Each structure stands twice: as C-alpha cells, then as structure tokens.
Structure 1
Amino acid sequence: MPNPFRATKNLFKSKPTMSTSSSSTPAPTTEPTADQSTDAQPGPAEGPKYDASKPLDILFLQDATGSQGPYISSARSAIQSICTKISESASLSQGAIRFGLIAFRDHPPQDTSFVTKNFGFTSDVGTMITNLASLVASGGGDGPEASTAALADALNMEWEEDAVKIVVLITDAAPHGIGEPGDGFPNGSPDQNDPLEIARQMAERGITLYVVACEPSLSRYLNAVDFYKALCQITSGRMVPLLNAAQLGDFIVGSAVETVETEKLINEYQSTILEDVYGQGKPVEEVIQQMQQKMAERKTEIKTFNVENPYEQSRESESNVNVWAQAKSLGNAKGKTQAIQTPRLKKAFQSSGGSYGSYGAPPPAPVMARPGASARPMQQMRQSVSSFGKSWFNGSRTPSSAPAPPAPAAYGAPVDYAAAPSYASAPQAQQVSLMSQQVDQSQTNRIVMQSLMRNAKVGPGGVLTPTGEYSGAKGVQMPQVKSEVSDAMDTGA
C-alpha cells in the first residue's frame, strides 16, 4: 500500500461527518494514447524526466444541497468517460487514477442531515458511481454552505505522496464568513477553520484547487465569485464557470489533463527554479520571464483547457481577488472589498426572458415576497430544475446547451416570486476545448509558483519562507498576478 500523504501540521478541527468506506480495487487498464507535435518540445533535454506512471488523485467536493441534483447526476453518468478520457489524454493507466468524494451541506441548525460525508479515495470506477448514486440533493439553509468544512476534510485526506493532487469544488453557494447577507455564520465556519489558511496549506503540499462555479447561481452572491477566484489563485489553480450541468464531465477532464501536463513541466524545471530564486536570490518576476522565454524558444506545448469566459471583467473584481488572496484571514479582509454594481455575467450568457435583479449593496431588511405571495426559505431560492444529457468532449466545439437554471434573486434584495424570468430564449452556449497549444504566461506563472510554494511555508500576503534544502534562505514575496479566470479563460472575451 502506498504511503499516504497526511496533513502533519495545523491539523484542521474535526466536525460532524458521516464516513463511508470504499473499495480500492484497480480498474482495468487501457492502452494510453498521446497527441504528438512535430515542432513542439515537451521540455528541456537535460534534467530529470517526468515519470508517466506518476499516479493521479482527484477529489470531488460536491455540494449536495437542493440545487445540485443535475450536477450530481451529470458526474455519475460521466464518471466512466471521465476516467477513460483522462487516461488517454494524460497517458495514464486507469489503475493509476484514484477518485475521491466528499459531499457537503451545512452546519446545524441550518441543516441537520450532515455537514460533510467523506467517501474516501478509490481506484474502482464502479465504487465511485455507487457513491455518487447514494447522494440525494436536498437541504441547505441560509444560502452560504459548508464548503470550508469540505476543504478542511480534503486537506486531511490520505493523499498518495507522489501523486498529482487535484481538488475540484463543485458548488453554487458561497462559504460562510465572507460578508453575504443572511449568512447564519457571519464570522466564518463554526468549526473555526479558515479557508484562506487551508488554501495556503494546500499550496505547500502540491494540491491544486479548481472551483467549478455553477452559474448563474453563484454570481448572485455579492462576494463568492471573487473569493473563490482568490482561493484558486493561492494554489495556482483555476475557477471555471459552468453554465450547463451536462458539461461537468468535460470540465473535470480538461482540468485534470492540464494539471497533469503542467506537472510534467514542474518536474522538469523545479530544481532550476528553486536554485534561481532561493539559491541565487533572483527576483521571482525575472525567473518567470526567463522561463516564459525558454518555453517560447523551445515551442513547448501542453494540452490546455480553454473555457469561454462568461463574466464581465472589472477593476473592482480584480482588486477584490487580490484583497482576499493577500489577507491573513477572512476577518482581515472584511470591509476592504468593493461592491460590484453591475451584473457579473455578460449579456450573451443571460436569458433574454428576465432580469437578474439588483446587484447593488443589499439593504439590511429581510428578503420580502410580493404582496399576496408566500415567502419561501432561503435554500429554496437556490433550488432549480435543469435538463441535461450526455456531452462528449471532442476538442473545440460549441456544445449543445440546455438553458441554464434560473438564478435566485440577489441575496438581501427584494424578490418578486410571481415574476419569475422566462427561459423561452436560451442564453449563448459556452464554448470549451482541450487542445495542445504553446505554454502561455499564466501557465508559466503556475509552474514557477507551484515549484516555489511546494518548498516553502506559504504565509499570509504571499510570503514564502523556504524549507527543506533551502531552509534558512531569504524569503520571497509572491507577485500579485491577474486572477487565473481572467488570464486563462478570456478565449471568448
């Protein structure tokens, strides 16, 4: 049995969970295939070579509240295809891939069913299908959910030490404690865990965080989009907005394959990066530019996951991302972010049948229903019904998309339940692709920053204190970078 990758410092506090044991029987292997390019080079001729047999641990943190039924069903129906496509695209045997699952809802009294339900890791696809089939989307309480509790559980999973480690958080809700109106736990997760510190420890341990933002619901929160971008930025991961539940499998495959491809380059260049920054004291920005120049000269290509960006970009949003990413704790960031006064989603991705309501700072008054209409609990505002079907990921294409489920009205703002938007006219379909292309600046940033963070104590404000071979060397400051969702996903902007 491989040595588990355990959390040994700042172990996060336990919380009410329901654990379910799972099998670890390997799945049958298939002959891997890999795309080849005649003029592209995978890396330098010198130095250590990437071991293609390096395993992959991919952990799903699945919101299991009332609005998530389509996403749970989509993951269950696509899991076999996900395993096969990751295996073929990343040149991995299927037995080298372990899937993990942690479901989460909310803390009592907001939800009394469970906070997190940890199914562990398994390499058996059938077991993963069974685990997903056991989840029923229901409950939820005050809008924000227990995603911080799920992240804490993820950090303490028994990761394989030498595996490529990926966490995929799938949610349409904010975490507690980031300033959302009506939050039942406004001071943060009641287990006292802070998601910013969890993300920093993930970065130290080589765990890359992806957040699949289920839209249009997530952008209805005041701060959730910017906050999740910041969490991903800390780990050099990505936040990917998803408008059609049927495409969830594509998003998981693309995220995993690009991470495995990036890991190959980290393995090739890490020793050089560490010596340049920690050994020779070169500025991080200079090393990033040198690495980018080297990648360009070698025409280095990796399989890259491109997602059309449905968000409007703004300076306020970028500022908020950096405020969260640089903050020591949630409390330190409160009051420092700026309100976004305009809709988050571009008009092309909004339904033509109705307005998404006010995006201004909500009044302190409770949510009100139209006179004569009955008010509904906050969690019901997030429940929706969406049709979905199979979606196969065959490179660049415009997917056939069902209309996105209706978004709830802005939290804290008046709601007219009798005037629900019509979806007779569907929003624009979101384009996605997975293709080999030359390494871009955001990917080079990721290669350099992950190399440095895995060999350092990652502190608040992006301060890296070298550990291991370079322990005692001068610490460095992580440069503030444009959020990954802006850099890597503006293919359709």
Structure 2
Amino acid sequence: MTQIGGSSKLKTLSQALGGSDAPKAVKPSQKLDVTLTFDTTGSMYGYLEDVRNQLNHLSQEIRQAVPQAKMGVVAYGDYCDAQTTYVTKVLDLTENYQLISNFITQVEKTDGGDFPEAVEEALYQTNQLAWRLGSRRAMVLVGDAPPHGVIDSLQACQYGHNWRDETQSLGKKGIKIYTVQCGSNPDTKRVFQEISQITNGIYLNLENMSDLVDLLISICMKEVGLLAEYEQKLKTNNSLNPSKEKLLRQLGSASDK
C-alpha cells in the first residue's frame, strides 16, 4: 500500500460556487467523512479520468454544502501490480482539497491481471482511515469486478484479508458503503449488493460514465439531508438526464436508511 501526503502545486479547489440555486449549507456542527474508492485497472481508468475533468465541480459543491466535509481516496488494482505500481494507494481523510486534487490527478493506472481485483484490500485500507467521532460516514466503491474469494479461492486474497470480514467491520463503525457497479457482470452485482446491504448502504448500477461525478455529489448530499435540493439544482440547470434521474430515484427511495 502506498500512503500519500501530497504536494501543493496545483491551483486550490476551495472556491465555492455562488448562486441562489446552490444547496443550502448544513448546520456547522454537521461533519461528513466520505471516501472515494476506485478500481484503477485498465477497464476502469476512464471513470477516474472523468472525475479528474470535473474536480472543480465535485469539490465546490461539497465544500459549499458541507463546510466540515473530509474526503479520502483509495485507489486499487490487483496483487500483480505490487512490483510495478501499487495494489492500493491511499489518501487519508482530509479537508485539504489541494491534496485531493493532486492525488486524483497523479494516481497511476494499474494492470489488474485476472478478472477479480483487490477490492478486499481497498476495504481493508478504508477500515484504517482516520474516521472522526460523530461524523456521518460513507464509502463510495466504484468498480466493475468482484473481490478475490468470490469466483476464485480465498487463497487468492494474498494479504489475508477477506472482503466480507472487512465489510462487516466497516458496517460496525457506521460506515455506509454505496457500491457503484460499472458494467453488468453478475458476480460483481451479487457481491456489490451484499456489501451495500451489510453496511446499510445502497447498490447502484452506473449506465453512463458522465453521470458519475453528479452521483458522487448526490451521495454526499443524501448523507447530510440535501439530496432533494441538489436534484432541484440539476433540474434548474437542465443537467438531469434520464439515467441520472434514475440514480437519484434509487438514492431517494432509500431515504429511510
């Protein structure tokens, strides 16, 4: 695992959007801790690149609505990547959006090798993050492949971490996992659904890559009770296409969670 502290070379992302259609900020005491966890293997790297292209939008919306938000990032490949890039690369929860920008901009693509990826290691590393007491806690897992130990042997989990054990541990800490499946592999769907169910999170299937950033923002807004306001903002800006509206309906239908 590679732990990143980051540098301060890029322009700050901390400027907030103005305008009367922006979601109102939550109470100052409201804290949100959220991690973005991405599969960075070849089939998935384009999704991360899309997030890169909309970093200003992502950071500004969250910073304005949730001033005390902290964000972490966990990038993961597979065990075969250990000697060339990384199995996991981690940015701990931080309020410094410059570090987040640096990390997402610079994180490398991984190879992945076989179909399952080291999702179990991403879950393990998320368990190690500095979650704040009293915060709303969420993990957004974005991938197209299952962890090891689902369609292959548990012995394929080379570092000895089991996806179900790590998921249960996250759930006990009050961390909801929003699983975002890219593609339609049935094994991925089955295990991503179970991961979300264990943690009282939500399983979502992403039909269009271009919807990802607004989905990430919407998940944060849901956690602090501002999903309806953000949906209205998307409507006002003519940014709510049918596939995005479907995702928001799924988030809204689980409002009791």
TM over 0.5: yes
Query: Which aligned pairs between 1:90-239 and structure 2 lie closer than 5 A?
Result: 91-93=65-67, 96-108=68-80, 112-179=84-151, 183=152, 185-215=153-183, 219-220=184-185, 222-239=186-203
AA in 2 matched with 1:443:
S
Structure 1 match to 2:36: 60
Matched, 1:432 2:245: yes
Number of equivalences: 247
Contact 1:144-1:174 at 8 Å conserved across structures:
yes
State the alpha-carbon separation in 2 of the partners of residues 134 and 109 from structure 1: 17
AA in 1 matched with 2:177:
L
Deviation, structure 1 residue 114: 1.6
State the alpha-carbon separation in 1 of the partners of residues 23 and 56 from structure 2: 19
State the alpha-carbon separation in 2 of the partners of residues 435 and 242 from structure 1: 11
Residue number among 382, 385, 395 corresponding to 2:235 in the alignment:
395
Deviation, structure 1 residue 213: 0.9
Contact 2:77-2:117 at 8 Å conserved across structures:
yes
AA in 2 matched with 1:174:
P
Query: Which aligned pairs between 1:89-488 and structure 2 lie closer than 5 A?
Result: 91-93=65-67, 96-108=68-80, 112-179=84-151, 183=152, 185-215=153-183, 219-220=184-185, 222-261=186-225, 303=228, 394-395=234-235, 430-432=243-245, 442-444=254-256, 446=257
AA in 1 matched with 2:228:
K
AA in 2 matched with 1:18:
T
AA in 2 matched with 1:202:
L
State the alpha-carbon separation in 2 of the partners of residues 128 and 29 from structure 1: 16
Deviation, structure 1 residue 117: 0.9
* Residues 22, 112 of structure 1: alpha-carbon distance in 2 compared, 3 angstrom cutoff: closer
* Residues 152, 435 of structure 1: alpha-carbon distance in 2 compared, 3 angstrom cutoff: closer
Deviation, structure 1 residue 65: 0.7
Contact 1:155-1:198 at 8 Å conserved across structures:
yes
Deviation, structure 1 residue 150: 0.7
**By percentage of residues, which structure has more helix?**
2
Contact 2:137-2:175 at 8 Å conserved across structures:
yes
Give 3-state SS (helix, strand or coil) of 1:176's partner. coil
* Residues 30, 78 of structure 1: alpha-carbon distance in 2 compared, 3 angstrom cutoff: closer
Structure 2 match to 1:352: none
Contact 1:18-1:114 at 8 Å conserved across structures:
yes
AA in 1 matched with 2:139:
V
AA in 2 matched with 1:214:
C
State the alpha-carbon separation in 2 of the partners of residues 92 and 239 from structure 1: 23
Larger Rg over CA atoms: 1
State the alpha-carbon separation in 2 of the partners of residues 247 and 26 from structure 1: 21
AA in 2 matched with 1:197:
D
Pairwise CA RMSD: 3.3
AA in 2 matched with 1:74:
D
* Residues 435, 224 of structure 1: alpha-carbon distance in 2 compared, 3 angstrom cutoff: closer
AA in 2 matched with 1:303:
A
* Residues 53, 26 of structure 1: alpha-carbon distance in 2 compared, 3 angstrom cutoff: farther
Give 3-state SS (helix, strand or coil) of 2:222's partner. helix
Contact 1:167-1:210 at 8 Å conserved across structures:
yes
